[in-house]
């Protein structure tokens, strides 16, 4: 499989340099994804700009990768402007799959998701200390 990989503290970016994600190469793509999960990446951006063919095997691995990312409170983001690919992915009804037109927007989505998760953690911590939505006294914390 022909691809370029960039790793950042918050996400991994795969520049897929294949014309398709199909039966012929989906297992190679799955191996790349599995390796990223093993080293702790829950946010994965996949640039699909050269992809013009996507079959059921490709959709299946995208579904699996998306589920794992969501379980890690991360995102799998497919970057493409190809209307046919977008239509296929929408038709596959992959729960909460994020599709963006540019890598820059995908990176912003990762950071927003991280902020949202941090905010949610802070709200959960409020209840761990016995706080309520009405507030509390400083000595309660």
Cβ(60)–Cβ(26) below 8 Å = yes
24 domain-assigned: yes
Q: What is the mean pLDDT of residues 89-113?
A: 96
140 domain-assigned: no
First to last CA, the chain: 54
List 53's β-bridge partners, or say none. 20
Cβ(59)–Cβ(26) below 8 Å = no
Cβ(7)–Cβ(14) below 8 Å = no
Cα–Cα distance for residue pair 70/94, rounded to 1 Å = 11
> How does pLDDT run across 98-107, given as a tens digit for each residue?
999 999 999 9
Which residues in 5-26 are b (16+ Cβ under 10 Å) and which e?
A: eeeeeebbbbbbebebbbeebb
Domain count along the chain: 1
Judge whether residue 133 has pLDDT over 90. Answer: no
15 domain-assigned: yes
> How does pLDDT run across 20-69, given as a tens digit for each residue?
999 999 999 999 999 999 999 999 999 999 999 999 999 999 999 999 99
Query: Which residues span the domain enclosing 121?
Result: 3-130
27 domain-assigned: yes
48 domain-assigned: yes
Of residues 46 and 123, which shows the higher confidence score? Answer: 46
Give percent of the chain above pLDDT 90: 80
136 domain-assigned: no
90 domain-assigned: yes
Judge whether residue 130 has pLDDT over 90. Answer: no
| CATH number, residue 114 | 3.30.750.24
In this structure, of 50-54, 68-72, 85-89, 137-141, the range with the lowest mean pLDDT score is: 137-141
34 domain-assigned: yes
């Amino acid at each position: 499989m022909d691809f370029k990989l960039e790793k950042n503290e918050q996400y991994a970016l795969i520049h897929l340099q294949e014309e398709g994600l199909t039966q012929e190469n989906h297992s190679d793509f799955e191996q790349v994804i599995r390796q990223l999960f093993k080293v702790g990446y829950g946010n994965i951006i996949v640039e699909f700009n050269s992809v013009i063919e996507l079959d059921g095997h490709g959709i299946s691995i995208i579904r699996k990768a998306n589920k794992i990312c969501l379980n890690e409170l991360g995102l799998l983001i497919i970057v493409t402007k190809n209307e046919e690919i977008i239509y296929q992915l929408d038709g596959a009804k992959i729960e909460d799959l994020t599709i963006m037109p540019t890598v820059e927007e995908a990176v912003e989505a990762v950071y927003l998701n991280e902020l949202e998760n941090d905010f949610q953690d802070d709200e959960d911590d409020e209840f761990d200390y016995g706080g309520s939505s009405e507030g509390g006294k400083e000595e309660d914390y």
